[in-house]
Chain A
Amino acid sequence: MNINTSKNNFGYDNIDIQYGVQIIFSTVPNQKDIDFEKDIEKNYFEDYKGKIDSKEIYLYKPLKFYMLGDYDVCYITLINNFKFSHRLFEPKDKTDNTVYNAHSFQSYSGFALNESDKLKEIFSSTDSTYFVGVINLKLNNGLLIGNGLKYIESVYNYLKTELAEIPFLLTQTFSWFDLSLVVFIDDPKELAAILAKLRFATFKDLKNTNDLKNSLYHSIIKEKKAIKNTSLFADTHTYFGFNEKLISIKGLSNTYIKGFEKHIKKNNIELETEIEWQVKPGHILDLEEILKSHSYLKKYFSFDERKISLGKCDFLLQEISTEILANFHLIRYIHRKQDCNLFLHIRKVRTYVFLNGNNIKSNQVILKKDVFCWDKELDKLAVKSKDFHEIDKKLKTLKISRQVRIKILKIFSNYNNGIQDPIQFPYFLDFTIFIKNLINLINEEYFISNSQVNSIRELEIVLNEHIKVFQEGYNVRFLNGYQFENISDFDLDFNSSIQQLLTSYGTLVYEYGKLFYKEKTNLYGPLIQLNNIDTNSNYRSINYSIHHLTSPEFVFSTLLKEILNHLKIDNKQLKNELEVLYLNLNTFLEVVNESYLDDMWENQLIDFDYLIIDSIRFITTFNCDFSLFEHWFWSYNFQNPSLFDTSGMFNEDHLRKEMLRIMLIKKMFNVHYELNSPIPELYTYWDRHYSKINKISEDIVNAVEQFEFAKIINAIVLNYLDNFKNSFNPNLDVLNYASKMEKLKNISSQVNQKQINKLSFLFNVSTSNSLNILEVEKLIFETLNHHFTENKLKVTLLKRNWKTGSVLNNYNDLNKDILYAIDQTGGVYFYDNDKINSYFKSNAQCLLSLIDFSFIKKKEFILEHRSNE
Chain B
Amino acid sequence: MNNLDPQLNILWLSDIHYDENYSDKQYHSELKKYLDSFKLYLKNLDVEYDYILLSGDIAQNGDENDYNLFYIDILKDILELFPNAKLLVIPGNHDVSRNGVSFINEFIENKESRDTFLKKHRDDFYKIFAPFSNQFINNSSISMDSSITYKEHLLYGYVLDKKNKTIIILLNSSWYSVGDIFLTHYINNDFHNTREAKLVIHDIKKITSEYGFQTLGLDVLAEIDGIIEILNNYPEYLTITTMHHPINWFIHKDQITRDEYKFHQIKKFTDLLLTGHEHISVEHPFEYINNGKILHIKAGCFMDFSKENKELNGINPFKINNNWFSTLEINTKKRTVRQDKHYYDTVNNEWVEYENKNISKLNKKNTIQISENRLNNIKGELKNNSLKIVQHLFKDDAIREINQSVYRYKKNIIFFTADDFINISHNEVKDLFQSENFEKLYVVFVDLFNNISEKYTIANDRLLVLNTIKNDYDFKFNIFRHDFFSNLTKDEVINYGNLAFIAKIVPYWDIEHLNC
Contacts and interface: CB of A to CB of B under 8 A. Distances in A.
Q: Do these two chains really belong together in a complex?
A: yes
Nearest to A815: B497
B102 interface: no
User: Quick one: which of A590, A598, A694, A698 has the most chain B CB within 10 A?
Assistant: A590
A649 B473 CA distance: 14
Interface residues of B, number: 34
Contacts of A808: 485-486
A808 B483 CA distance: 12
A705 B130 CA distance: 55
Interface in A633-689: 647-649, 652, 680, 683-684, 687-688
B286 interface: no
A590 B489 contact: no
Contacts of B42: none
Q: How large is the interface on A (under 10, 10 to 19, 20 to 34, 35 or more residues)?
A: 20 to 34
B334 interface: yes
A684 B493 contact: no
A593 B331 contact: yes
Contact of A684 (B331, B477, B488, B498): B477
A6 interface: no
A647 B3 CA distance: 33
B203 to A, nearest CB: 53
B502 A698 contact: no
Interface in A786-821: 799, 801-802, 808, 810-814
Contacts of B127: none
A596 interface: yes
A593 B334 contact: yes
A722 interface: no
A683 B501 contact: yes
A590 B333 CA distance: 13
A810 B486 CA distance: 8
Nearest to A587: B359
Given A593-B359, A683-B501, A799-B485, A810 B493 contact: yes
Given A649-B478, A683-B501, A814 B5 contact: no
B494 A814 contact: yes
B510 interface: no
A475 interface: no
B501 A698 contact: no
A136 to B, nearest CB: 46
Contacts of A649: 474, 478
A594 B478 contact: no
Nearest to B505: A688
B104 to A, nearest CB: 51
Given A595-B333, A811-B493, A692 B4 contact: yes
B1 interface: yes
A684 B334 CA distance: 25
A812 B498 CA distance: 13
Interface string B366-398: 000000000000000000000000000000000
B364 to A, nearest CB: 15
Contacts of A687: 502, 504
A696 interface: yes
A695 interface: yes
B503 interface: yes
Interface string B472-498: 001101110010011011101110011
B443 to A, nearest CB: 9
Given A647-B475, A680-B498, A595 B334 contact: yes
A139 B37 CA distance: 87
Contact of A695 (B4, B359, B474, B477): B4
A811 B497 contact: yes
Given A590-B359, A696-B4, A684 B486 contact: no
Contact of B486 (A652, A688, A799, A813): A799
A598 B334 contact: yes
A694 B338 CA distance: 23
Contact of B503 (A648, A684, A692, A801): A684
Nearest to A699: B1
User: Quick one: which of B334, B359, B492 has the most chain A CB within 10 A?
Assistant: B334
B500 interface: yes
Contacts of B486: 799, 801-802, 808
Interface in A678-717: 680, 683-684, 687-688, 691-692, 694-696, 698
B114 interface: no
B336 interface: yes
A802 B477 CA distance: 14
A647 B482 CA distance: 10
B516 to A, nearest CB: 23
A595 B362 CA distance: 14
Contacts of A590: 336, 359
A698 B4 CA distance: 12
Contacts of B331: 593-595
Nearest to B489: A810
User: Quick one: which of B2, B338, B478, B479 has the most chain A CB within 10 A?
Assistant: B478
B330 to A, nearest CB: 10
User: Quick one: which of B479, B488, B494, B497 has the most chain A CB within 10 A?
Assistant: B497
A648 B500 contact: no
Contact of B474 (A596, A684, A811): A684
B303 to A, nearest CB: 31
Nearest to A806: B486
Contacts of A598: 334
B440 interface: yes
Interface in A56-92: none
Given A683-B500, A683-B501, A695 B334 contact: no
B502 A683 contact: yes
B339 to A, nearest CB: 13
Contact of A810 (B334, B359, B474, B488): B488
User: Quick one: which of B486, B489, B504 has the most chain A CB within 10 A?
Assistant: B486
A94 B497 CA distance: 34
Contacts of B503: 684
Interface in B1-35: 1-5
Contacts of B477: 684
Contacts of A695: 1-4
A810 B3 contact: no
Contacts of A594: 3-5, 331, 334
Given A593-B334, A802-B486, A680 B4 contact: no
B490 A810 contact: yes
Nearest to A680: B500
A513 B60 CA distance: 75
Contact of A596 (B5, B485, B499, B501): B5
Contacts of B490: 810, 812-813
Contacts of A802: 479, 482, 486
A683 B440 contact: yes
A808 B494 CA distance: 14
Nearest to B361: A590
Nearest to B471: A652
A684 B333 contact: no
Contacts of A596: 4-5
A598 to B, nearest CB: 7
A648 B334 contact: no
A670 to B, nearest CB: 14
Nearest to B504: A687
A688 B445 CA distance: 13
A698 B1 contact: yes
Given A648-B478, A808-B486, A593 B502 contact: no
Instruction: Give 10 closest A-B pairs by Cβ, nearest first.
Output: A683-B502, A684-B503, A595-B334, A810-B490, A814-B497, A595-B333, A683-B500, A590-B359, A810-B493, A594-B4
Given A652-B474, A801-B486, 19 more contacts: A590-B336, A593-B5, A593-B334, A594-B3, A594-B4, A598-B334, A648-B482, A683-B502, A684-B478, A688-B504, A691-B4, A695-B2, A695-B3, A695-B4, A810-B490, A811-B493, A813-B490, A814-B493, A814-B497
14 contacts: A593-B5, A594-B5, A595-B331, A648-B478, A648-B482, A652-B474, A683-B502, A692-B4, A695-B2, A799-B485, A810-B492, A810-B493, A811-B497, A813-B490
